[in-house]
Amino acid sequence: MSEKFQAVVIGGGPGGYVCAIRLAQLGLKTACIESRGSLGGTCLNVGCIPSKSLLNLSEEFHKVKNLSNKGIEVGEVKLNLPKMMKSKEKAVTILTKGVEFLLKKNKVTYYRGTGSFKSKKEILIKDKNNKETIIQTEKVIIATGSVPVSLPNIEIDEKLIVSSTGALNLEKVPKKMVVVGGGYIGLEMGSVWSRLGSEVHVVEFLDHITPGMDKEISKEFMKILNKQGINFHLQHKVENVTKSNSGVIVSTSNKEGNKINFECEVVLISVGRKPNTDGLNLEKIGIELDNKKRIKTNESFKTNLDDIYAIGDVIAGPMLAHKAEDEGMAVAENIAGQSGHVNYNTIPGVIYTTPEVASIGKTEEQLKEKNIKYKIGKFSFMANSRAKAIDEAEGFVKILADEKTDKVLGAHLIGPHAGELIAEIGIAMEFGASSEDIARTCHAHPTFSEAVKEAALSVDKRAIHS
């Protein structure tokens, strides 16, 4: 007799494991199936966590090397890359084991193996030794995430031609690295290897980096990264990547149609990710996909079939861990008869470079496009005492508020701890706050958050420190 569950979650990433825990908290007998051998998905294993670990470690290395500028003399600073990688792996192991503990604590049954639909209510699990188990369920939640995409005819070998996964595991610092795509992964991983000593060239198809981000922030971001030593080649289309005796040749053509080749030791292909539905047997049960091969869902995360749901990177929306988590919570609550909900207007996006970049709500371009009249408040970290005191004063805070009602519509930050500061604006937006509400809230001195308050004051042209 196969075991019977009330809910089965396929995929143990931030969407899947959070959903499984919430379902169990709400009293459903729940199983979670994960194929990679450890929980936490892309995020904990080959995404958010290892990249943030390397961003931090490479920034520390870079800072220590430059401490003498601040009157702190240190001896010779040397990089021990294998040890740095071990430190990163330690962080990953602690966190993935932590998720396993959480599933156990919440009495979620964890199956190690690949799940696929045998029928709408039966899931077949194949483990690494090809042993098969069939379980039965009332509800299924698909949370199988996403995988990197490559370009036509370019095969990723994770050694010379790498995706983010290979870029997180290089055995030595490449003398020269070409990054294809100036998005989240390209700029974070490009920053890591640049700080560790690589000559980094970002080749971007568009005329700006970080598409979708507020243009003013995007321009400032590129200027700052450029000053740090990262080279940008905008409006360059990558046509081919070939291996040579000394490394790799990246062939591009620029907007004038000139052919430009870049020779490098390693090329990182970071041109986006695609939903992962391979092997689930979706065709057999008739689940509909959209034109980008994402699973189609309604606002309750239900697919075209009753009792089958999908969340996270495998459905539409930004491919972010916290978006997947919130959808996991919401779908679990819906299944349990509650009113789960995700507010897509207040999902923050953060790029963990130095300085950090953070964004929430509408950009100026989106407001113009929708013909919404707005006011802008801006404040530079150059005038923020904490940022000045520690010599991290690059960047600014920009708040967009409705021209009539003063309601905060969006905020875009580049500067120290921007990824933490954005949470304040998220809460303000969830509460329907005006920029005046933020401006009238007492912020501790000296903190970076005072720049948020000053930007809010500046919406009505009454900033004090500028």
User: Which residues of the chain form contacts with ligand FAD (CB under 6 A)?
Assistant: 10-16, 33-36, 41-43, 47-48, 51-52, 114-116, 143-146, 164, 185, 276, 279-280, 312-313, 319-322, 324, 352
Choose between 280 and 425: whose C-beta lies nearer to ligand FAD. Answer: 280
Neighbours of 283 (CB within 10 A): 10
445 is a catalytic site residue: yes
Q: Which residue is nearest to ligand NAD (CB)?
A: 183
Choose between 181 and 275: whose C-beta lies nearer to ligand NAD. Answer: 181
> Cβ of residue 141: shortest distance to ligand FAD, in angstroms?
10
Choose between 182 and 395: whose C-beta lies nearer to ligand NAD. Answer: 182
> Cβ of residue 217: shortest distance to ligand NAD, in angstroms?
14
Q: Which does 183 bind (CB under 5 to 8 A by kind): ligand FAD, ligand NAD, none?
A: ligand NAD
C-alpha 39/C-alpha 4 separation (Å) is: 22
Q: Which does 416 bind (CB under 5 to 8 A by kind): ligand FAD, ligand NAD, none?
A: none
Contact 424, 447 (CB under 8 A): no
Q: Which does 458 bind (CB under 5 to 8 A by kind): ligand FAD, ligand NAD, none?
A: none
Q: Which does 35 bind (CB under 5 to 8 A by kind): ligand NAD, ligand FAD, none?
A: ligand FAD
Choose between 185 and 217: whose C-beta lies nearer to ligand FAD. Answer: 185
Give contact residues for ligand NAD (rule: CB under 6 A). Answer: 151, 180-186, 188, 203-206, 211, 237-238, 270-273, 318-320, 350-352
> Cβ of residue 184: shortest distance to ligand NAD, in angstroms?
4
Choose between 28 and 141: whose C-beta lies nearer to ligand FAD. Answer: 141
Encoded amino acid at 422, one letter: I
- DSSP conformation class of 346: G
371: exposed, middle or buried (C-beta count within 10 Å: 0-12, 13-18, 19+)? exposed
C-alpha 115/C-alpha 281 separation (Å) is: 9
Choose between 185 and 387: whose C-beta lies nearer to ligand NAD. Answer: 185
> Cβ of residue 181: shortest distance to ligand NAD, in angstroms?
3
Q: Which residues contact 263 (CB under 8 A, 6 or more apart)?
A: 176, 244, 246, 247, 248, 249, 250
Handedness of CA 452, 457, 461, 463 (dihedral sign): negative
Q: Which does 11 bind (CB under 5 to 8 A by kind): ligand NAD, ligand FAD, none?
A: ligand FAD
> Cβ of residue 211: shortest distance to ligand FAD, in angstroms?
16
Catalytic residue among 62, 208, 341, 445: 445
Q: Which does 151 bind (CB under 5 to 8 A by kind): ligand FAD, ligand NAD, none?
A: ligand NAD
> Cβ of residue 131: shortest distance to ligand FAD, in angstroms?
14
C-alpha 112/C-alpha 38 separation (Å) is: 8
> Cβ of residue 210: shortest distance to ligand NAD, in angstroms?
7
Strand (E) positions, 12-68?
30-34
Neighbours of 355 (CB within 10 A): 24
Choose between 111 and 396: whose C-beta lies nearer to ligand FAD. Answer: 111
Strand (E) positions, 256-311?
259-264, 266-269, 273-275, 308-310
C-alpha 268/C-alpha 426 separation (Å) is: 33
Count of residues in the chain: 466
C-alpha 305/C-alpha 117 separation (Å) is: 13
Q: Which does 43 bind (CB under 5 to 8 A by kind): ligand FAD, ligand NAD, none?
A: ligand FAD
Which residues pair with residue 379 across a beta bridge? Answer: 397
162: exposed, middle or buried (C-beta count within 10 Å: 0-12, 13-18, 19+)? buried
C-alpha 210/C-alpha 197 separation (Å) is: 23
C-alpha 215/C-alpha 244 separation (Å) is: 38
Q: Which residues are tagged catalytic? A: 445
